[in-house]
Structure 1
């Protein structure tokens, strides 16, 4: 069995499991409410075409109606699942079912509007690095991750995120993987949008697992053609007034293309390193090689969780580093929650974000 076939099977299984878990409470409640199995039949009819499409995600050329129906239905189910508990509690405390579900519906609508139309939050962090050259004091690195250009993040929306980063007049800008969701139809669109990134020392990207659900080489060519340097197990030296910074990128872990040692092989001695690694599970390897800062994504911060409670996050099934800034010894890791979504087009407790990391001397 080829690596791509194993990846496809794993992706299909994960999607099917998530679809089942997400829909089950809603479908059971609707079946109870209607006293018929029709909601279960309808859920199957909505989900089946999209799940069948995932057998060949690399060859998808355009989002079909089944994509919009399935993802929209799953998002509605997720919101229902999250709000069903509070609604039941309200009823238990004496609130009528009508009022409880009216409030739940209003919250659902607000969540949907915020996900589809809301802008990612801008998160700013300071990372202190020992031995940082004075010329790099205050050096600002922008990060956009998990764009997932597709039906719910079209080119125009991605371009609006790019414009927000450009307005910050950054020193360096990075893209940490999962530029598209799947299929070939959005490759050129996302490349055009991200090709608009501007920073004093350039734009750099690494590949994510979703980027190989299509022709990854085509994506790399389109990005490079538009001025975004894609770092696949390699690095470059950035010079600023005589001071140097090593910027490296690691390739995708899902398809076993990652090689941290190779990415850092040409790092000059004593030069601080910034490593772009879509998968935060590569952080221990980066720390072992004394990488000062690793920028990751992949987890979406769980995408759906309990607001304010990071421990109750679906991201924990993916990585122990779920979202935000971490430090181990002299090495830092920032896990970006991402700007886009995958699967259900909804977020709860894990807002979309753009990030700016400012380097300071320790």
Structure 2
């Protein structure tokens, strides 16, 4: 069987399994086959245009409608047993099932239409100079500018970060989905970032799904500093902060030792590393804070339980803040998506990390 038809067949089987409990439940309670027709009308336009797990030529409206509906069905599948148990112990039927339906539709809509959350975290650094106490770093990651993320959408995220008036902005990789068509648009949008000490970027694996050198040149023309196995010293009132970045791990371009070679003695270090798997190496070299992305928080996860997500298949550092000894890691869930533009239980985010003296 050719590759694409095989993939499409698997996709049909998967979404049928997700929708089947909900559709059967609706058919039973409405005493009509209309829910089956509705599910087919929502699903078929997207499935017919599905090229691969990462790409569909379906119009945006059909894409978001299908993915939102499937997300709602998945949530309802998980809530059917609790709702039935609630009815059996005396809860009103309408209340239990109505609540399950409202939650499912709300989470399904949020999965495809939700705007990035703003995450604020405090990192306490041993030996942080007083002049850097309260230093604020804005982070945007995994933009994935492409078919589902336009230049205008990236610019809206940039405007939100700019409004926070942070001291420094870190852009931690995967700025495009693939190909060269979105290199200049994402560079223009990210070129609008404003911070007291500037905007710094590192490269991710998707950034080499095109000519990486072209992307670097485009970003630097727009005023970003791209850190590829190097670092710079940022000064504030006589105190020094070393900001370093490593290149992509998937193509073995990373060189952490080289990135840290220019670190002044005693200067606290912020490392931009798209792949959080570099955190143990950063910790071994006494890097105070590593900022990463890459995982998207799994895109599909149990809300509030970061260990239960698809990201666990690729790393133990799935999302959020981690600490080992005096070293910290923050894994940003990112603002874009890989593949289908849906996030269930792993909402998109922008982050602000505030440095404080330990």
TM range (shorter): 0.7 to 0.9
Q: Give the superposition deviation at 1:276.
A: 0.4
Q: For residue 18 of structure 2, what is the aligned residue in structure 1?
A: 26
Are residues 1:243 and 2:235 paired? Answer: no
Aligned to 1:324: 320
What corresponds to 1:283 in structure 2? 279
Distance 1:20 1:209 in 2: 29
Residue 86 (str. 1) matches residue 82 (str. 2): no
1:333-361 CA deviation, whole Å, 9 max, x = no partner?
A: 01111122222322222222111111112
Unpaired runs of 5+ in structure 1? 1-11, 58-62
1:42-76 Cα offsets, whole Å, 9 max, x none, are 9799557544596xx9xxxxx73378756764554
Establish whether residue 64 from structure 1 lines up as the match of residue 64 from structure 2.
no
CA shift for structure 1 position 97: 10
TM-score by length of 1: 0.81
- Give the Å deviation of 1:130: 1.6
CA distance in 1, matches of 2:247, 2:231: 12
Give the alignment partner of residue 206 of structure 1, picking from 202, 205, 211: 202
Q: Which is worse superposed, 88-97 or 349-358?
A: 88-97
> Residues 303 and 52 from structure 1, CA distance in 2 versus in 1: closer, same or farther, beyond 3 angstroms?
closer
For 1:207 and 1:48, the matched residues in 2 are separated by 34
Counterparts of 1:82 and 1:361, CA distance in 2: 42
Question: What pairs up with 1:11-22 in 2 under 5 angstroms?
Answer: 22=14
Matched-pair contact (CA < 8 Å) for 1:149–1:179: yes
> 1:294 offset after TM fit, Å?
0.1
Any idea what SS the aligned residue of 2:301 has?
coil
Q: Encode CA deviations 1:9-43: one digit per residue, 9 max, x unaligned.
A: xxx9xx99995885362366599888x9xx99x97
Mapped contact 1:23–1:74 kept (Cα < 8 A): no
Deviation, 1:320, is 0.7
The match for 1:216 is 212
Query: What displacement does 1:290 show?
Result: 0.8
Q: Which residue of 1 aligns with 2:289?
A: 293
1:304 partnered with 2:296: no
| Distance across 2 between alignment mates of 1:301 and 1:309 | 10
Larger mean Cα displacement after TM superposition, 340-349 or 258-267: 340-349
Q: Structure 1's 90 and 168: CA in aligned 2 closer, same or farther, altered over 3 A?
A: same
Q: Could you tell me how far 1:255 is from its partner in structure 2? A: 1.7
Does the Cα contact within 8 Å between 1:116 and 1:152 map onto a contact in 2?
A: no
Q: How far has the Cα of 1:162 moved from its partner?
A: 0.9
Change over 3 Å in CA distance of 1:29–1:87 after alignment to 2: closer
Match of 1:162 in 2: 158
Q: CA RMSD in A?
A: 3.5
Contact 2:293/2:331 (<8 A) preserved = yes
Q: Residues 97, 182 of structure 1: CA spacing in aligned structure 2 closer, same or farther, 3 A cutoff?
A: farther
Higher CA-based Rg: 2
Is 1:266 the equivalent of 2:227? no
Residue 231 of structure 1: CA displacement? 0.9
Normalising by the residue count of structure 2, what TM-score does the alignment of the two structures yield?
0.82
Q: Give the distance between the partners of 1:75 and 1:154, measured in 2 at CA.
A: 20
Give the Cα–Cα distance (whole angstroms) in 1 for the partners of residues 269 and 63 of structure 2.
42
Counterparts of 1:35-54 in structure 2, within 5 Å, are: 47=47, 50-52=50-52
